[in-house]
Structure 1
Amino acid sequence: MAERGVNEPPIIAVTGPQRGAFGPRFLVACAIRWYGGKPLQLRPGDTWQQHQYDGVVITGGHDIDPVLYTAEPEAVPKYDPERDALEAAIIDDALVHQLPLLGICRGAQLLNARRGGNLYQELRSQRRRTSNRRTVLPLKTLDIVPGSRLADLFGTERAQINSLHNQAINQLGQQLQVSGRDLDGIIQAIEDPEHPFLIGVQWHPEFLLLVRRQRRLFQALIEAASKRSRSSF
């Protein structure tokens, strides 16, 4: 593994599927570069252990296999076991080494599962006040928990978010706290206040980069990764 200089930008691993998802991964990479980071795209089959990076973004996509949180399947979605294996290993490594981590949509769900939590495998039965419609537009209301790290980043207790998921966090994993819910009370954001930077969001901030508070998620990740990178020298 090559030596890195003290003034080099923090490297942020960006995970995703073997094929597809070009748009979300490109937008995440743009957000990382926006704040001075260097994206490192990792896919199933890559030898991720050979790479050095200072932070992680687990992107969205297909549902995670319920076997990862010891549950029986209740729906018939698409699973990607190779991606599950890659991202589970990277999340576990990030947790062990206190790497800054942002989980987006399925990334937040998998983070919760790796901490021992589980998911609602379908949300239609959980909704009373919100729609099941999926859209990249910020048409859903997010209630942010006062005093949370997310509240500090967003500078508000209510925001508008998009919705592209059909599963969501049910029981929380260990050491995680809820930092945001939608109007049905469904968990939309989680965090670990004891970690340097560990946030999972159910929405897709990469599609909302024109909204300053959405960009702050990536800005805070890069700042935490930069601090960690400098401290290693």
Structure 2
Amino acid sequence: MARPVIAITGPQRGAFGPRTLVALAVRLYGGRPLQLRPGDAGRVHRFDGVVITGGHDVNPVLYAAAPEVEPRYDEARDELEVAIIDEALERRLPLLGICRGAQLLNVRLGGTLFQELKSRRRRTSNRWTVLPLKTLCIRPGTVLARLMGEGTARINSLHNQAIDLCGQGLQISGTDLDELPQAIEKPDHGPLLLGVQWHPEFLIFMKRQRALFRALVESARETMQRT
């Protein structure tokens, strides 16, 4: 059986750990990882699914907002990942956006972001941790609920920005205890189109977290077989 190619985006340098873990999860379910960096822009690559990984904040210029915090942007990466998101939307490819990836997906579809979260925290700690110490409230009837089950789940938290207004066609499928969006999805996309604010690649020892990567690879395989 042919293995679907899953594009995994990231910065030009660094992020070796998370990208390796994403690739491991992709291989686990029969996919073939394709690591893409800003230096690869302009080259022709064939892929059947996409993972937009985490990293620096999304430049507020992309959603017509003024900077509210000290900037840490990667414009070259923004350009690459915007192009890949656009291709995934046009070709109706399955896509999983992780942390920054979820934010950029939302922005590309016309949504906006909260640029800082500390002032909005009431019931959730603002600390960063790779450990599953944060509560995810999964909304029933969503794709996320189908993959991870309804109710609550434990997730990690490595972000200082989050989704504010959802982009066109997106809906919130999970929140934290402060009602800040933790997952978005686009039900009319066809194959999987999901963005999660946490980092499931650091939690692949948990079956519910691996389900996200399994769904992505299976959707990519089905898409590959139809084309």
Q: TM (normalized to structure 1)?
A: 0.96
Q: Please, which of 2, 24, 32 is the counterpart of residue 8 of structure 1?
A: 2
Are 2:224 and 1:229 equivalent residues in the alignment?
A: yes
Unaligned runs of at least 5 residues, structure 2: none
**In structure 1, what is the Cα distance between the partners aligned to 2:223 and 2:45?**
16
**In structure 2, what is the Cα distance between the partners aligned to 1:137 and 1:50?**
37
Q: Please, which of 122, 129, 139 is the counterpart of residue 116 of structure 2?
A: 122
Deviations 1:93-139 (A, max 9, x none): 11011010000000000000000000000001111111110000000
3-state SS, counterpart of residue 88 of structure 2 = helix
Are 2:24 and 1:30 equivalent residues in the alignment?
A: yes
The count of corresponding residues between Structure 1 and Structure 2 is 226
Match of 1:201 in 2: 196
Are 2:142 and 1:157 equivalent residues in the alignment?
A: no
Instruction: Give 4+ residue runs of structure 1 displaced > 6 Å after superposition.
Output: none
Match of 1:108 in 2: 102
3-state SS, counterpart of residue 138 of structure 1 = strand
**In structure 2, what is the Cα distance between the partners aligned to 1:88 and 1:125?**
29
Q: Please, which of 41, 45, 52 is the counterpart of residue 39 of structure 2?
A: 45
Deviations 1:187-219 (A, max 9, x none): 000001111110000000000000001000000
Are 2:222 and 1:217 equivalent residues in the alignment?
A: no
Contact preservation (8 Å) 1:42, 1:48: no
Match of 2:169 in 1: 175
Deviations 1:134-179 (A, max 9, x none): 0000000000000000001012321000000000000000000000
How far residue 8 of structure 1 moved from its aligned partner, in angstroms, is 2.0
3-state SS, counterpart of residue 172 of structure 2 = strand
Match of 1:87 in 2: 81
Amino acid at match of 1:158: T
